[in-house]
């Protein structure tokens, strides 16, 4: 019996190939790495980000506000670049607030989300005039108290923990019991209390899940989101002016995954915008995306330091590792470890000659960047490139673990 064909990674062509060399910033990767003067590094391509955002916009209704979730990749230059092309930024800490305020984004279009915001960061956000996305009753009262002392009237949205789930999501962010947002059934009481506070109610933020590749599931969640917002609007002290529908648009990371088909989502949003016009006439709809905007525009590059055999298996030991790319090692929320797409950047298109493991330099078996992948024959000095690394890479990794120097980041 022949072995069933395992599904591979889908074709990824954002970074072109010329003469067997992956092109990075218009140069062969070998030359580029020499110029960088050290590996490992992360490289993000601004043109790929731009094309991505433009392509997305053509599929969405014009009135949709497109926000960037800074935590996906907070590299300052990249945030500046993305900020120029989107309508707002979503932030989740005072550090991200500082970054966002350095861009030209109108503070009112910066929304501050996240459970457990501290008094200091709330005060800074109130003073800056950003929109606060309220996660609990305690936080609502805290904001009202802090604002009263500062003479400001903050704009707020309520983050609602929906009474539905986003199906087949990589990471669930709502539905069931969670630390995120206010359970939908508690929202009416909170809105009643809100009417007596000196806060400017803008609307709702309803985010059901991340990393979804199924258009039909996203469409279903967005329909349920608008329906929920319409129900809750009845209890609101003033008309809903903003409905942030979160994001959830995924990118293909693992074998067998296909890119998200955004077209049906855009078509459905066009219907929802029309529906909202009649029932929530003042409401603007917003999407808040992280990885979908920047994830495919980034690569992580490390060099093979050693090549060894162990009991019939080949191990390529690189100068990178999980301390710099936790997600690729499978330790950032994966239930079952799967391989990110990985290539030998200076041997593109060469015949695949064998199965190898790619590891980092840490003293833990968790430091596995690729498990049993088929690649061209690689040697010491070759460049291992992990694709789809523009989001949740460096800043989602424990860089202090084992004390190696941090990798460089460059925006091409
Ligand atoms: C993380 C996060 C996002 C972005 O998620 P992606 O999967 O990167 O698109 C959006 N909104 C909120 C509230 C988040 O916490």
Q: State the pLDDT confidence band at 334, using cuts at 50, 70 and 90.
A: confident
> φ, ψ for residue 42 (rounded to 5)?
-105, 135
Percentage of the residues of the chain whose pLDDT score is greater than 70: 96
**Ligand 1 centroid vs 291 CA: distance in angstroms?**
8
In ligand 1, the atom with minimum distance to the C-alpha of 211 is 7
d(C-alpha 304, C-alpha 383), whole Å: 6
| Residue nearest ligand 1's atom 7 by CA | 210
Mean pLDDT (whole number) for 380-406 = 97
List of residues 6+ apart from 60 with CB closer than 8 A: 66, 262, 266, 269, 287
d(C-alpha 62, C-alpha 273), whole Å: 10
What DSSP state is assigned to residue 235?
T
For residue 411, count other CB atoms closer than 10 A to its CB: 20
**Ligand 1 centroid vs 23 CA: distance in angstroms?**
30
- Does residue 396 carry a pLDDT above 60? yes
Decide: 19 and 27 in contact? Cβ < 8 Å: no
Based on its alpha-carbon atoms, the radius of gyration of the chain, rounded to whole angstroms, reads 23
- Ligand 1: which of 72, 162, 260 to mutate, judged by most atoms within 8 Å of the beta carbon? 72
Mean pLDDT (whole number) for 304-325 = 98
User: How far from 12 is each of 78, 80, 217, 292, CA to CA, in Å?
Assistant: 21, 26, 24, 14
Decide: 369 and 384 in contact? Cβ < 8 Å: yes
For helices 137-150 and 119-128, the axis angle rounded to 10 degrees is: 60
- Does residue 150 carry a pLDDT above 90? no
Q: Which two tokens mark 94?
A: 């005072």
- Ligand 1: which of 290, 294, 327, 332 to mutate, judged by most atoms within 8 Å of the beta carbon? 290
- Average pLDDT, rounded, for the chain: 95
d(C-alpha 117, C-alpha 231), whole Å: 28
Residues within 6 Å of ligand 1 by CB:
69, 71-72, 90, 113, 207, 210-211, 246-247, 288-292, 391
pLDDT value of position 173: 60
Secondary-structure breakdown of the chain: helix, strand, coil percentages, each rounded to the nearest 5: 30, 25, 45
Q: State the pLDDT confidence band at 1, using cuts at 50, 70 and 90.
A: very low
CATH architecture of 106-289: Alpha-Beta Barrel (3.20)
Report the phi/psi class of residue 78: left, alpha or beta, with left for phi > 0 and alpha for psi in -120 to 50. Answer: alpha
**Ligand 1 centroid vs 247 CA: distance in angstroms?**
6
**Ligand 1 centroid vs 313 CA: distance in angstroms?**
38
d(C-alpha 95, C-alpha 121), whole Å: 9
- Ligand 1: which of 52, 56, 69, 168 to mutate, judged by most atoms within 8 Å of the beta carbon? 69
According to CATH, what is the number of the domain 17-45+296-411? Answer: 2.40.37.10
Percentage of the residues of the chain whose pLDDT score is greater than 90: 91
pLDDT value of position 170: 65
d(C-alpha 125, C-alpha 95), whole Å: 11
d(C-alpha 369, C-alpha 379), whole Å: 16
Decide: 39 and 320 in contact? Cβ < 8 Å: yes
- Does residue 171 carry a pLDDT above 70? no
Mean pLDDT (whole number) for 217-222 = 94
Higher model confidence: residue 408 or residue 167?
Answer: 408
- Extents of the domains making up the chain: 17-45+296-411, 106-289
Decide: 272 and 219 in contact? Cβ < 8 Å: no
- Does residue 138 carry a pLDDT above 50? yes
- Ligand 1: which of 133, 173, 217 to mutate, judged by most atoms within 8 Å of the beta carbon? 173
Decide: 291 and 211 in contact? Cβ < 8 Å: yes
Q: State the pLDDT confidence band at 174, using cuts at 50, 70 and 90.
A: low
Long-range contacts of 99-107, Cβ-Cβ distance < 8 Å, separation of 24 or more: 99/70, 99/74, 100/70, 100/130, 101/128, 101/130, 102/76, 103/79
d(C-alpha 65, C-alpha 106), whole Å: 13
Mean pLDDT (whole number) for 182-201 = 96
d(C-alpha 65, C-alpha 269), whole Å: 12
Higher model confidence: residue 305 or residue 1?
Answer: 305
pLDDT value of position 35: 95
d(C-alpha 13, C-alpha 61), whole Å: 27
d(C-alpha 314, C-alpha 355), whole Å: 7
**Ligand 1 centroid vs 289 CA: distance in angstroms?**
6
């Amino acid at each position: 019996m022949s072995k069933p064909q395992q599904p591979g990674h889908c074709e990824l062509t954002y970074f072109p190939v010329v003469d067997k060399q992956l092109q990075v910033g218009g140069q062969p990767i070998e030359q580029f790495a020499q110029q960088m003067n050290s590996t490992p590094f992360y490289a993000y391509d601004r043109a790929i980000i731009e094309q991505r955002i433009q392509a997305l916009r053509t599929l969405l209704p014009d009135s949709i506000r497109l926000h960037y979730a800074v935590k996906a990749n907070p590299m300052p230059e990249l945030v500046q670049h993305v900020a120029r092309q989107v309508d707002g930024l979503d932030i989740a800490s005072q550090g991200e607030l500082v970054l966002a305020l350095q861009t030209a984004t109108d503070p009112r279009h910066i929304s501050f989300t996240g459970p457990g915001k501290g008094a200091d960061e709330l005060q800074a956000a109130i003073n800056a005039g950003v929109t606060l996305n309220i996660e609990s009753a305690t936080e609502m009262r805290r904001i009202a108290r802090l604002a009263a002392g500062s003479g400001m009237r903050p704009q707020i949205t309520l983050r609602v923990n929906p009474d539905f789930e986003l199906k087949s999501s990589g990471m669930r962010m709502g539905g069931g019991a969670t630390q995120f947002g206010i359970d939908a059934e508690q929202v009416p009481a909170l809105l009643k209390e809100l009417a007596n506070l000196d806060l400017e109610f803008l609307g709702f933020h309803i985010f059901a899940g991340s990393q979804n590749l199924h258009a039909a599931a996203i469409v279903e969640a967005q329909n349920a989101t608008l329906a929920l917002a319409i129900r809750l609007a009845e209890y609101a002290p003033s008309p809903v002016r903003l409905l942030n529908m979160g994001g959830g648009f995924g990118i293909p990371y693992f074998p067998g995954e296909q890119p998200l088909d955004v077209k049906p989502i855009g078509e459905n949003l066009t219907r929802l915008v029309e529906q909202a016009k009649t029932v929530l006439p003042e409401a603007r709809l917003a999407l808040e995306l992280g990885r979908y905007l920047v994830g495919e525009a980034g690569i992580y590059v490390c060099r093979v330091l050693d090549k060894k055999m162990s009991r019939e298996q080949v191990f390529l030991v690189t100068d990178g590792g999980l301390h710099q790319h936790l997600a690729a090692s499978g330790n950032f929320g994966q239930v079952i470890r799967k391989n990110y797409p990985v290539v030998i950047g200076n041997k593109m298109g060469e015949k695949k000659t064998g199965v190898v493991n790619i590891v980092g330099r840490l003293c833990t078996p968790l430091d596995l960047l690729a498990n049993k992948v088929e690649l061209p024959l690689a040697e010491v000095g070759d460049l291992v490139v992990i694709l789809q690394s523009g989001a949740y890479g460096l800043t989602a990794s424990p860089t202090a673990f084992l004390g190696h120097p941090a990798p460089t980041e460059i925006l091409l």
